[in-house]
């Protein structure tokens, strides 16, 4: 049967309930069912109505009865379930049979089932816990007996319609995200696609059971333990506790749904339920909340800009902001109304930007950019069309020989994603040092990389103690082979970067500029650096562009070498192909030949090996970071050095070489 709750203007579906429909004609059985449902979610007692609909059978309960049940037997049954959840011996009590709805046990004889529970408690539990449970059983039985004598289920209500959003067209794609299901659909008359979120199972326990578990988790939280945990660890801890609560107090939940209920309960208990699908989805690169009460919208890797069916409240937004503040330790108040921080949730690292009043006029706003724990790789970017294998090989050639590279582009054009993908393919022996205000780099120690990651305070913090400028200058005494500076945002950042590069450090960095010309103009006109300093320090500039539309995408549109004479050597411009012959005019590569004893032919051949290897990986969907790193170290670099393939199948080595 379908279960609905009536709100002010609509009916909200809560899921499917499997019961004997014939029992609904018995007032005491129907009252026992309502008591059972409200004991899981006490908030139902404040609803305007509750409805169960089946084949030719319907039960409608009005607000007056709901309030009476919520204040009476449902509250007592909730306290009983809560005590069971806190009693370790409750695992030994077969409450799945006692509270079963499908078998009709609790509905047909609620007082008898409570008597059976009392006997089981006497047999399994000892001490003060036994006394408390027996007292709770007696209170629940007494309250239920009084309710059966005086309750009426004959109230009627009209004027509400089911809020199902109309009939949906065939989804463009549908997939599961743990306890959630996502359907990307095209709606008639709407330019943007809809990212429609629902629960993976329609069983009522996913919603109501998770409400009960999350409430127990919040009411019994141990602040001395949970207060020390980072958000990622706290989520895992809450999920384990949810499983414990269910094993003691919600044994009637079908086994295949236990993991779903635990996951939903853990997110709900921390105030993250509405945002959880967006945090879990690998295909979302960024999502936004413009103000409380608005729909979440997002940028999808394959479908571009989508609008979801999830409307967040002020409480949802404030809960998320609270976690960000606790995790980062950064201020967010009227004096500091903006906050930028990094957060770890599940498989993802998040870069969270928060704006609050008085800066944000309509209320708190969120911009959450996601970076996977395993970064995107060059073969993956090639498959997505962000660049071709030849362009990737050209950039990688310069990066492998430690050129000073700036990746420039508009906000959201994929600069950091490309930087991390290049970083993955660099030789393992290089000692990398990162200086970031928000940690957007990936941890690569497990892949054999040498990296030291330093975090400085972001520009949004008024009184900063750890400045990027100071930390960059300190690098001169840390002997890095390559410095990854992340995003350069201010004149101080560029001044420190230029000073470091002039001093001999090799740097890889990103900054905001829509074109190569605007990048040069920003440094020379806005910040006042001499043109000869800019052209004589930077070796390569990679320009990325974000094509803004409903189906937005990102692409490398230009690669150019900066020549000391004050001009650019354009090596690639979209939509053409890289001009390898122009490498003969490269001042940087000539310097590499002199330093490393190579010829220009050696470097061109190296670039071609990189291109064939990346094309091979992209064609065969070899996109996992560990696989890409392994193939580069075992095959590609050995081929560049003229060595064997190091344990890789001969066909793969020959194809990539």
Per residue in 215-224, pLDDT (tens digit) is: 999 999 998 9
The helix (run of H) or strand (run of E) holding residue 219 is helix 204-219
In the block, residue with structure tokens 């049940």 = 69
* Band of pLDDT at residue 157, cut at 50, 70 and 90: very low
Mean pLDDT of the residues in the chain: 87
Mean of pLDDT values over 483-506: 89
Q: What is the strand order of the sheet 295-300 is part of?
A: 173-177, 180-185, 193-199, 304-311, 295-300, 284-289, 365-372, 348-355, 338-345
Q: What's residue 173's pLDDT?
A: 92
* Band of pLDDT at residue 160, cut at 50, 70 and 90: very low
Tell me the C-alpha distance between 85 and 88, whole Å. 8
Q: What's residue 154's pLDDT?
A: 52
* Band of pLDDT at residue 650, cut at 50, 70 and 90: very low
Q: What's residue 657's pLDDT?
A: 52
Cβ-contact 24, 76 below 8 angstroms: no
What is the Cβ-side half-sphere exposure of residue 254, based on CA atoms within 13 angstroms?
Answer: 14
Tell me the C-alpha distance between 277 and 295, whole Å. 14
* Band of pLDDT at residue 187, cut at 50, 70 and 90: confident
Residue 291 scores a pLDDT above 90:
yes
Strands 553-563 and 540-547: antiparallel
Cβ neighbors of 507 (< 8 A, separation 6 or more) are 404, 405, 482, 483, 484, 485, 497, 500, 501
pLDDT-above-70 percentage for the chain: 91
Q: What's residue 469's pLDDT?
A: 73
Cβ neighbors of 22 (< 8 A, separation 6 or more) are none
Mean of pLDDT values over 380-408: 95
Q: What's residue 100's pLDDT?
A: 78
Q: Which CATH number fits domain 173-372: 3.30.450.40, 3.40.225.10, 3.40.50.2020, 3.30.450.380?
A: 3.30.450.380
Residue 528 scores a pLDDT above 90:
yes
Q: What's residue 243's pLDDT?
A: 95
Q: What's residue 565's pLDDT?
A: 86
The structure tokens listed for 157 are 């209500």
Would 173-372 and 378-577 be classified into the same CATH topology? no
Tell me the C-alpha distance between 341 and 456, whole Å. 11
Cβ neighbors of 453 (< 8 A, separation 6 or more) are 433, 434, 436, 439, 441, 443
Residue 164 scores a pLDDT above 50:
no
106 compared with 401, residue with greater pLDDT:
401
The structure tokens listed for 95 are 């409450």
Q: What is the strand order of the sheet 405-409 is part of?
A: 450-455, 431-436, 482-487, 507-512, 405-409, 540-547, 553-563, 567-573
Per residue in 47-101, pLDDT (tens digit) is: 888 888 877 667 888 888 888 888 889 999 999 999 999 999 988 888 877 787 7
The residue count of the chain comes to 657
Q: What's residue 145's pLDDT?
A: 85
Per residue in 443-456, pLDDT (tens digit) is: 899 999 999 998 88
Local structure of 73: helix, strand or coil: helix
The highest-confidence range among 79-93, 308-322, 458-472, by mean pLDDT, is 308-322
The structure tokens listed for 254 are 């079908």
Q: Which CATH number fits domain 378-577: 3.30.565.10, 3.40.50.300, 3.40.50.2020, 3.40.50.10440?
A: 3.40.50.300
Domain boundaries, the chain: 2-162, 173-372, 378-577
430 compared with 110, residue with greater pLDDT:
430
Give pTM, 2 decimals: 0.77
């Amino acid at each position: 049967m379908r279960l609905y709750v009536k709100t002010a203007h609509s009916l909200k579906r809560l899921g499917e309930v499997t019961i004997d429909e014939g029992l609904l004609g018995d007032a005491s059985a129907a009252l026992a069912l309502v008591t059972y449902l409200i004991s899981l979610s006490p908030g139902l007692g404040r609803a305007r109505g509750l409805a169960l609909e089946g084949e030719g059978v319907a039960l409608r309960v009005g607000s007056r009865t709901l309030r009476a049940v919520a204040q009476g037997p449902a509250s007592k049954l909730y306290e009983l379930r809560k005590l069971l959840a806190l009693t370790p011996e409750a695992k030994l009590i077969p409450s799945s049979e006692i509270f079963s709805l499908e078998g009709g046990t609790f509905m047909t004889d609620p007082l008898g089932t409570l008597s059976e529970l009392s006997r089981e408690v006497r047999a399994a539990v000892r001490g003060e816990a036994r006394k408390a449970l027996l007292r709770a059983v007696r209170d629940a039985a007494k309250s239920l007996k009084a309710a059966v004598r005086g309750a009426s289920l004959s109230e009627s209500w009209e004027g509400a319609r089911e809020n199902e959003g109309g009939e949906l067209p065939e989804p463009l794609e549908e997939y599961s995200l743990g306890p959630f299901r996502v359907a990307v659909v095209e709606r008639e008359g709407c330019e943007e696609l809809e990212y429609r979120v629902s629960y993976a199972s329609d069983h009522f326990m996913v919603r109501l059971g998770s409400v009960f578990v999350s409430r127990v988790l919040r009411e019994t939280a141990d602040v001395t333990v949970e207060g020390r945990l980072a958000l990622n660890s706290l989520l895992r801890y809450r999920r384990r506790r949810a499983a414990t609560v269910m094993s003691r107090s919600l044994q009637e939940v079908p086994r295949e749904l236990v993991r779903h209920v635990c996951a939903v309960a853990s997110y709900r208990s921390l105030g993250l339920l509405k945002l959880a699908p967006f945090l879990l989805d690998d295909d979302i690169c960024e999502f936004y909340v413009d103000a409380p009460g608005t729909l979440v919208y997002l940028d999808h890797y394959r479908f571009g800009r989508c609008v979801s069916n999830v409307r967040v409240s002020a409480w949802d937004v404030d809960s998320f902001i609270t976690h960000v503040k606790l995790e980062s330790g950064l201020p967010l108040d009227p004096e500091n109304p903006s906050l930028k921080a990094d957060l770890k949730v599940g498989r993802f690292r998040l870069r969270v930007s928060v704006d609050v009043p008085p800066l944000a006029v309509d209320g708190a706003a969120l911009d959450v950019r996601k970076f996977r724990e395993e970064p995107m790789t060059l073969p993956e970017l090639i498959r997505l069309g962000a660049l071709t294998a030849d362009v990737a090989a050209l950039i990688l050639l310069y990066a492998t020989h430690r050129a000073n590279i700036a990746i420039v582009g508009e906000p959201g054009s994929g600069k950091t994603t490309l930087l991390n993908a290049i970083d993955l393919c660099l030789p393992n022996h290089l000692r990398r040092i990162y200086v970031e205000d928000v940690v957007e780099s990936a941890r690569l120690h497990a892949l054999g990389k040498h990296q030291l990651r330093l975090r400085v305070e972001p520009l949004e913090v008024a009184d900063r103690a750890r400045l990027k400028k100071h930390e960059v200058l300190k690098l001169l005494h840390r002997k890095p082979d390559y410095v990854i500076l992340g995003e350069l945002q201010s004149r101080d950042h560029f001044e420190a970067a230029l000073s470091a590069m002039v001093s001999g450090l090799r740097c890889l960095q990103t900054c905001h500029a829509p074109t190569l010309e605007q990048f040069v103009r920003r440094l020379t006109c806005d910040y006042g650096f001499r043109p000869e300093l800019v052209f004589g320090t930077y070796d390569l500039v990679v320009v990325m562009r974000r094509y803004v539309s409903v189906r937005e995408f990102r692409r490398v549109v230009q690669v150019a070498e900066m020549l000391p004479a004050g001009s650019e050597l354009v090596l690639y411009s979209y939509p053409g192909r890289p001009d390898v012959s122009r490498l003969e005019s490269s001042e940087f590569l000539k310097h590499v030949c002199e330093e490393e004893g190579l010829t220009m032919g050696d470097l061109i051949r190296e670039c071609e090996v990189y291109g064939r290897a990346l094309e091979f990986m992209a064609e065969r969907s070899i996109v996992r970071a560990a696989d890409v790193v392994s193939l580069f170290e075992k095959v590609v670099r050995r081929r560049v050095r003229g060595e064997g393939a190091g344990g890789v199948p001969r066909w793969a080595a020959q194809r990539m070489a």
